[in-house]
A and B are shown apart, each in its own frame.
Chain A
Amino acid sequence: MIYMLRLVPALERLSLGIASPNALSMAFFQAFTVREPNVDNAFDMVRSLSQTIAPSCPSLRSLQLRYRRWLRGPDKKALIAVFGDIMASRNPKKRLSFKLSLSFDEAPMSSWSIGPTRKFLHLEPRFFTKGHVELMLGISTPRGVIPISGALPLDSVVPLPFKEAEYLGLWDFSSSTSAEFSFTHEHMELMVYNYVRPPLPPSLPCILPLFSALRVLVMERVNPLFLSGHTFYKLERCRVVKPPVSFLPSPSLFTETETPVCTRVDIDDPYLLATFKLPQIREMALDFSHPELSTIWEKHIAVNVNLSGLTLLHMKKWPPNGDLIPILRSLQFLVTLIISSQLGAVSFRAFLPMDANGTSGLKRTNSEGQRLDLLCPRLQSLQIEGQDPSLERELTPILKDIVDHSPCRECVSLEGLHFF
């Protein structure tokens, strides 16, 4: 077949119906690698392939592969890697001009687009498709990460052919979607459905190969209930934001989610974060607008999350005059604090030296002989996002106190106080 394809140099669209991943060899697909990729996507293996095999179909703009059957066993990463190499090598400066897509007879309505091999994968939705949930997977290969993206129709069960992806991104734009994974006889399926329907019971705590392989998880506007009770052995980064408006979290909904090596989380819902066991956490972002946040923080988050290891905290939607002291008191090793809010004077006092009772020492007329403690003594960067410039004038005296007094304690300097 490859010999025949070499005789049609004008070919722009090629669609192949293939019985299984074993039907056409990797050498067949490697012949579509037309030249060396650019510097960002340079991989030695690709270079050697392009030197040894003459390129096929140089004018090709679309390669569609439709498999009647896919693998039930472990993922065939070597084949996916070749797909990524084809994408990386084909006109790398204008990647949109070439498209490689996979589809499967089991789910004829869904198609997967392969992206070029990258050193780093930033999970983000491609485009909005009405009535669909955007999904992106990333598969690690020795030469980098290969993004695979697709749009899954709502209220459908779609086979997930890539069971051991390390990256998973799920985005919905209807704000009412739930997801559920199932795994039976080496076959994994994802069901996405509208939240107005009665939710399915959460996944049984079986070992999903996807959950065991995931290193990065990003979800936006998707009900996170399906995460509950699972163990993500390799998960390093997790972002679960903007849960559906119809999603009403409560502690009873969740069971503990184990993430033994996770170092960075960005989770809007405090109840969800409270169920995450995070012994290795380093960086955390949380929506602090929940009315019961202080209780959840003290009773659950402080217990499950190893706050002593936290070096970066992003406080989203912090109440303007909320008391930061109970939160910051447990963060002794915090280096960077980002607050997305219009802070009032009450909140700012947390950054001033204080005595054992939590009273700011600067208020005292005579502080001689008093040992004043400083919250977050290692804090080096304080970034405040969304501050109203007109309020800055009113807050100038207290800000001056913060800058003046912070460096004098524990010999740690507050290097940055930034407003955005």
Chain B
Amino acid sequence: MDWYSLDLVWQENPLPPGKADLIPVEILSEIFLLIVKDWSGYREDLMLVCRRWHAIMLSTPGIHSPLTIRRATQKEVVQAFVQGTKTHLDVRVDMNDETDGSDFNAENFLACFMAAAQAASRWTSLNLISPPPLGEYTDLRIWLPLVHLESFKVARGFGGFLGPIMTAIRSSAPPNLTSIEIEDLAAVLYLVQPAGLHITHCLTTLKIHLFKRVGIPVDILPHLHRVEFFEARNLCLPFYPPDAPLPLNNTLRFLHLKSVSVQWMAGHVFPALETCRITFPHHVDTIQALQPVTMPSCYFLTYNSNDLHPLAHFYLPPLSELEVKSGEWNTWRGNRQLAILYPIVTAGAQSLTALHLDVNCRSGC
């Protein structure tokens, strides 16, 4: 049951007032704000307590309200919801709900989205979870500026739907937009075009999880001026010269690379990097004795590769958690790879509390 239907039920079956109704609206709003700030999962629970609490939740500007557009969603419901609330909106598009028997209606979907776009200036997050069936969405327009947009997530497969969205984000998104998670290469390419660089410069969180590796180099690293959390999977990066200015080297705190080149890390210092996960790195031979990777603040390292030798050129402080996996199938070579870990492990003699080893070796090594 959606909020619109629930409200109708409550209007038809009002409950007698209780003692909780004596608490002023302003105080409840403050309480709800504090709760939702720390435990956003309680938002829906609070709204379901009674009509009054439901109304207060919807009228408190600091509390975000979720608005999900599915196959079965009707335009009237979206319109009523948008007009009935003053709060910021967390908008989600999730078309993966065939199980409820609703067929996709492109016209209805477009109408729902446009109804939600009437409150685009109140959107704080836009999460495109699963795409509508392929189609033309040239009529799609977001007229209002996305002045409160803070986070944007897009799964793969949104195709023609993506263009108007990215255009709206590029043209009106404010510096508040600091978190982007992308599974579609086309969306990544939007970010590195000159018109989108002002967004890229402001990001503090960037996650690019591509389904498969495409040989199109994406020159995005020089434009990440403030990024602290960077995850990339199957992303093709260009070769960067040793003296290339990469501002993210100084700001990175969390790094997770999977099937991504690590050439850009060779010879650099990452003073703020605390957590580093590297899985199946590409161009790993660029990390050498003369071009080590220095991470003086790192306490958690995951390294998963067939060849552990580059780990010898990671300058690390005493770690608290180390996770190493090697795909080497030969026991003799596995034993030799294990020896590479010896200096790292012994350096963390007093600090290492968790060790995960998956190296093909034999005891006695």
- Interface residues of A, Cβ cutoff 8 Å to B: 1-2, 4-5, 7-17, 19, 23-25, 27-28, 59, 66
Minimal Cβ-Cβ distance residue in A for B362: A23
Task: Say yes or no: B345 contacts A15, CB within 8 Å.
Answer: no
**17 sampled A-B residue pairs with Cβ under 8 A:** A1-B338, A1-B357, A1-B363, A4-B341, A4-B345, A5-B355, A7-B349, A8-B346, A8-B349, A9-B350, A13-B355, A13-B356, A16-B356, A16-B358, A17-B356, A17-B358, A25-B362
Q: Is B354 an interface residue (CB 8 A)?
A: yes
Q: Is B39 an interface residue (CB 8 A)?
A: no
Q: Measured between C-beta atoms, what is the minimum distance from B344 to chain A in Å?
A: 10
User: In the complex, which of the residues B342, B358, B362 contacts A4, with contact meaning CB atoms closer than 8 Å?
Assistant: B342
Task: Say yes or no: B354 contacts A11, CB within 8 Å.
Answer: yes
A residues within 8 A CB of B351?
10
Q: Bound complex: CA of A9 vs CA of B355, how far in Å?
A: 12
Given known A-B contacts A8-B348, A17-B325, A1 and B361 have beta carbons under 8 A apart: yes
- How many residues in B have their beta carbons less than 8 Å from beta carbons of A? 26
User: In the complex, which of the residues A5, A10, A17, A27 contacts B350, with contact meaning CB atoms closer than 8 Å?
Assistant: A10
Q: Bound complex: CA of A19 vs CA of B323, how far in Å?
A: 17
Task: Say yes or no: A15 contacts B360, CB within 8 Å.
Answer: no
Task: Say yes or no: B353 contacts A17, CB within 8 Å.
Answer: no
Identify the interface centre among B348, B350, B363: most chain A CB within 10 Å of its CB: B363
Task: Say yes or no: B349 contacts A10, CB within 8 Å.
Answer: yes
Q: Measured between C-beta atoms, what is the minimum distance from B279 to chain A in Å?
A: 14
Task: Say yes or no: A23 contacts B363, CB within 8 Å.
Answer: yes
User: In the complex, which of the residues B350, B357, B365 contacts A15, with contact meaning CB atoms closer than 8 Å?
Assistant: B357
Q: Bound complex: CA of A1 vs CA of B339, how far in Å?
A: 8
Task: Say yes or no: A27 contacts B363, CB within 8 Å.
Answer: yes
Q: Bound complex: CA of A298 vs CA of B338, how far in Å?
A: 69
Given known A-B contacts A19-B360, A23-B360, A25-B364, A4 and B354 have beta carbons under 8 A apart: no
Minimal Cβ-Cβ distance residue in B for A28: B363
Q: Bound complex: CA of A14 vs CA of B352, how far in Å?
A: 10
Q: Bound complex: CA of A19 vs CA of B361, how far in Å?
A: 8
A residues within 8 A CB of B350?
9-10
A residues within 8 A CB of B358?
15-17, 66
User: In the complex, which of the residues B323, B345, B359 contacts A8, with contact meaning CB atoms closer than 8 Å?
Assistant: B345
Q: Bound complex: CA of A9 vs CA of B349, how far in Å?
A: 7
Task: Say yes or no: B349 contacts A16, CB within 8 Å.
Answer: no
Task: Say yes or no: B345 contacts A7, CB within 8 Å.
Answer: yes
Q: Measured between C-beta atoms, what is the minimum distance from B99 to chain A in Å?
A: 18
The 5 A-B residue pairs whose C-beta atoms are closest, nearest first, are: A17-B358, A28-B363, A15-B356, A13-B354, A25-B363
Task: Say yes or no: B346 contacts A4, CB within 8 Å.
Answer: yes
Task: Say yes or no: B353 contacts A10, CB within 8 Å.
Answer: yes
Q: Bound complex: CA of A23 vs CA of B357, how far in Å?
A: 13
Q: Bound complex: CA of A15 vs CA of B323, how far in Å?
A: 9
Task: Say yes or no: A14 contacts B325, CB within 8 Å.
Answer: no
